[in-house]
Each structure stands twice: as structure tokens, then as C-alpha cells.
Amino acid sequence: MKRYQYIVAATCLLVSAMGFVGLYATNKAEEKEAEKNQQIVEESEEIILGSNLWDTESEEEDSEELENQLAGIEDNTDIENIHDSETDEDVEEEQEIAQQEKPDNEAPVGAITQETLHFNPENGVVWPIEGTVLLDYSMDSTIFFPTLQQYQYNPAMVISGKVNDKVYFVAKGKITNITTNEETGCTVTQDIGDGYTAIYGQLKELRFKVGDMVEAGQVVGYVSEPTKYYSVEGSNVYFQLLKDGVPVDPEEILP
């Protein structure tokens, strides 16, 4: 009986010990699992913290870089503004200097200047050709025209000349017209200023064109064959002088 009791007691003790050992092992496993989980949590927190720290540093670096770029742009803008300001000042200064150096009578840039003609018989007037006057100017009375076989008024001078002789401008002026007609052939009109107009007829091989400025004594062209209106008189130069569009005696201004 006592032996049975001893066996039962030993069995209970063994069971209790095994239970205790199982409980202890379970607790240890739970503690290890908890420690492992805690370690995982801590590592995750470190990773997250490190990531946030890196993002913060990156943001700070990006922000600093952006600020530097903006500062650089502002600096460049300031430099450009300073350069533009200096350039404008230089241009204004150059313009002021140019304005001071420009003569008072100088025409503005781009302005169209036109020389004003003044006719003065004392300023080197010359005959259009050296020759005999075949028909005088006559507006007060009629004169006889050999080719036409009639008397009529003559608003010009008809001066003899050989074919190919040079014909000269009587004064300084501007060529305003060149025409050809059956009476005076190739004819040149010249404005010599102050309302005076010189007309040269019976010409060929002109040396100038409309709009040209010419001087007294320059060759306008050459004597041509006479037209049918002057076939009897022979080759000649037709020279007419107008004052405000009205014929006047050329001998009044010729030397």
C-alpha cells in the first residue's frame, strides 16, 4: 500500500515537474518571440527614422540648391540690369556727343536735302555754242524765216553750228525735261533758278539725263542735222530763255 502511494506521489511529482518544465519552456519561447518581435519593431523604426532623416536632408539640400539657383538668377538679373543701364547711359552719352559735334546747319539723318538754285548772270554764264546768230529773238515784231518763207515772231535764238559741234550749258542748273519734236528735234530743258529756264534744241548724243545737276560750261550734247523747219538755215542750236514761263531775250543774260 505504501509502495503504491509512493508510486502515485512520484508520478504526480513527475507530472508536475513536466508541467512546470513545459510551462517554463512555453514562457521562454514566448519571451524569445516577444524579444524577436520587439527587435523587428525597433529595426523597422530605425529604418523608417533613417528614411525620414534622409528625406529631410534631401529636401534641405534640394531647398538649398533651389535657393542658390534663384539667388544666381537674381544676381544675373541684377548684372544684366546694371549692364543694360550702363549701355543705355553709354548710348545717351554718345548721342549727346554726336549732337554736340554735329554742325547746326547739318540736315537730320535721313532728311532729303535739295539744293536751291539761284541764277546770277555774273556767275559765269556762257554761250551754248560759238556761232553766228541766224535768227534773233523777236517777240515785239515778226522776222523772216527762210525755210518757212514767212514772217513770224521768234521766242528764241537760232545760232549756227556745225554738225557734231559741242553744245554747252549756259549756267548751273538741273535738267528737268528731255523731249523730241519735229521743230527743234532733241530738246533739253534746264532749271537755272529764280524762275529762269533754259531750253536747248537741235541736239544729239546727250551726256546727261533728267534730274542731273550740271554746271555752266559742261557739254550737254552735240549739234545734230537740222529739222525740216530749219533746212535752209542749216545746222544750228535752238536756244530759248524763259522767265516764269514767259520767253525773254537770251542776249540779256549772255556775255
Using DSSP's 3-state secondary structure scheme, residue 179 falls into: strand
pLDDT for residue 94: 61
CA distance 11 to 76: 95
Q: Which residues of the chain have pLDDT under 70?
A: 1-30, 33-34, 36-37, 40-114
At residue 189, what is the residue type?
T
pLDDT for residue 175: 98
pLDDT for residue 208: 95
pLDDT for residue 63: 55
Using DSSP's 3-state secondary structure scheme, residue 217 falls into: coil
Structurally, at CATH architecture level, domain 133-252 sits in Distorted Sandwich (2.70)
Range 181-209 burial, b when 16+ CB lie within 10 A, else e: eeebbbbbbbbbbeebbbbbbbbeebebe
Residue whose C-alpha cell reads 549701355 in the numeric block? 87
Alpha-carbon Rg for the chain in angstroms: 60
Residue 169 CA from chain centroid, whole number? 40
Residues 6 or more apart in contact with residue 244 via CB below 8 angstroms: 195
Stated pTM of the model = 0.57
Which residues in 11-115 belong to E strands, given as ranges? none
pLDDT for residue 126: 94
- Domain locations along the chain: 1-113, 133-252
pLDDT for residue 118: 87
> 172: buried, middle or exposed (CB in 10 Å: 19+, 13-18, 0-12)?
buried
The pairing of strands 150-154 and 133-135 is unpaired
**Nearest residue to 160 (alpha-carbon basis) of 187, 133, 126:** 133
